[in-house]
Amino acid sequence: MSVAYEAVIGLEIHVQLITQSKAFCADSTAYGALPNTQVSPISLGHPGTLPRHNRSAVDYALKMGLALGCNITKENHYSRKNYFYADLPKGYQITQFNTPICEGGGVNIRLKDGSRKTVQLIRIHMEEDTGKSMHDQDPRDSLIDYNRAGTPLIEVVTAPDIRTGEEAYAFVTEIRRLVRYLDICDGNMEEGSLRCDANVSIRPIGTSTFGTKVEVKNMNSISNVRRAIDHEIERQRGILDAGGAVAGETRGFNALNGTTFSMRSKEMVNDYRYFPEPDLPPLILSDQYIAAVHKLMPELPETLFNRFTAELGLSEYDAGVLTDDKATAAYFLEVVKHTANYKSAANWVTVHIRGYLNEHAVGIDDFPLSGKRIADLIALIDSGQVSNSAAAQKLFPAMISHDGKSPLELAESLNLLQTGDADLIESIADEVLASLPQKVEEYRQGKTGLLGLFVGETMKRSKGKADPRKVNEVLLKKLGA
């Protein structure tokens, strides 16, 4: 008899902070520079050099903790985590061990079925990145670029609260959205600015002790995090079903075939000999300082989402798209400053404006029309002067190429103003019905879906200028409904 299992998953996410300089010295952190050009003796860990705190790195870590409702540590100490590896020039990493800057807190996620869940955090601590080994640049040797060494990171560690690959996907997506809102990380997983390790174990449903965990690394996209976890759960289930035991180990993810492979086993676990970093003074954060940083934070996506759904009555889908990034949310807010038709404003931003941006591969910051202009366009549609389709297909593109003219002026010059003229609509409707006697007969036999055809034909013959609501009315009357 096969046992039903559930997965227990905890994530460790490294967030590379977009400060200008490194965590403990003034070397630049700019991405893409020639290898080993941003490496002072401090980055390289030469004897006699001394680290200094980078205030921005601390502020960024603080923002993340405040956004996630963590308890902020007022007295921060740093430790040395000692190990030998070629990409670690000092022979140790400066990190926070006993006093992570943030403890507790949580991330609210929404799943596809609409359910919600809070993933609790254990801690967020500050540390520095290593250099980068490159094994594929030279046929014989591994090369190392130390530019990244000393770049500030925060590591977000979750409680083992996650149960599925989908939940992990939602969690990492939320973290990425948040760091982008806070402007503390570019959130780019492909380039390694956001890195996620997944700790995965499974246990029989109904039991409360944890199974042996496997740590999976090397997922360079959010969907690969989900794939790796889904695969790992199945792999562990296979082992247990066959009567075996899961080995505690670190595994890598192979994106080409979606499987994981063993990298190192638990027996080789490092002893990092953590000890207090003697060269950095404790970092003290006063309530006043924390409050000042808090003040600089933008409205968070979750707050906006709740506002858009609860106060503006938007669907969760629309609110999700609109709060996906800060610039889109800001643009939408600008539109609704000038219109009370929130649903239509959401539709223009999520459909037509996004369509334009995708087509032209530009961001919303480069969109030429102000929010006010879009609100004017909505007003024109709502007054019945321009049809939705004429607005979308003709007026909107014209506004983009003739910014400066009002939508009404443009609609006039393009001859898009709708006619509510009942006589004209009546006569076109008569023509249409006369030209389709067979269809009219079928309609009368009960094929009422044909109404759409008659409406479409009438609109076409009016060159889009008839008000579709009137056309509907007139046709229904003529068809004797």
Q: Tell me which residues touch ligand ADP (CB under 6 A).
A: 8-12, 157-160, 199-201, 210, 213
For the record, the structure tokens of 373 come out as 């202009």
**9 vs 61 by CB, closer to ligand ADP:** 9
Please give the backbone phi and psi of residue 120, each rounded to the nearest 5 degrees, phi first: -75, 150
**121 vs 293 by CB, closer to ligand ADP:** 121
Please give the backbone phi and psi of residue 287, each rounded to the nearest 5 degrees, phi first: -60, -40
Please give the backbone phi and psi of residue 233, each rounded to the nearest 5 degrees, phi first: -60, -45
What minimum distance in Å lies between the beta carbon of 237 and ligand ADP?
Answer: 14
**205 vs 434 by CB, closer to ligand ADP:** 205
What minimum distance in Å lies between the beta carbon of 313 and ligand ADP?
Answer: 38
Q: Is 245 left (phi over 0), alpha (psi -120 to 50) or beta?
A: beta
- Collapsing DSSP to helix, strand or coil, 304 comes out as helix
CA pair distance 218, 196, nearest whole angstrom? 8
**19 vs 250 by CB, closer to ligand ADP:** 250
What minimum distance in Å lies between the beta carbon of 455 and ligand ADP?
Answer: 58
CA pair distance 284, 380, nearest whole angstrom? 57
**8 vs 153 by CB, closer to ligand ADP:** 8
What minimum distance in Å lies between the beta carbon of 12 and ligand ADP?
Answer: 5
Residue with tokens 């996506």: 301
What minimum distance in Å lies between the beta carbon of 366 and ligand ADP?
Answer: 39
Cβ-based burial of 93 (10 A; exposed 0-12, middle 13-18, buried ≥19) = buried
Taking CA atoms, 475 is separated from 446, 460, 463, 478, in Å, by 15, 14, 17, 5
Contacts of 397 (CB under 8 A, 6+ apart): none
**8 vs 474 by CB, closer to ligand ADP:** 8
When CB distances to ligand ADP are compared, the closest residue is 10
Residue 57 near residue 65, CB atoms below 8 Å:
no
What minimum distance in Å lies between the beta carbon of 9 and ligand ADP?
Answer: 6
CA pair distance 214, 201, nearest whole angstrom? 6
**85 vs 210 by CB, closer to ligand ADP:** 210
For the record, the structure tokens of 65 come out as 């903790």
What minimum distance in Å lies between the beta carbon of 57 and ligand ADP?
Answer: 22
Distance between first and last Cα of the chain: 63
**204 vs 281 by CB, closer to ligand ADP:** 204
What minimum distance in Å lies between the beta carbon of 162 and ligand ADP?
Answer: 8
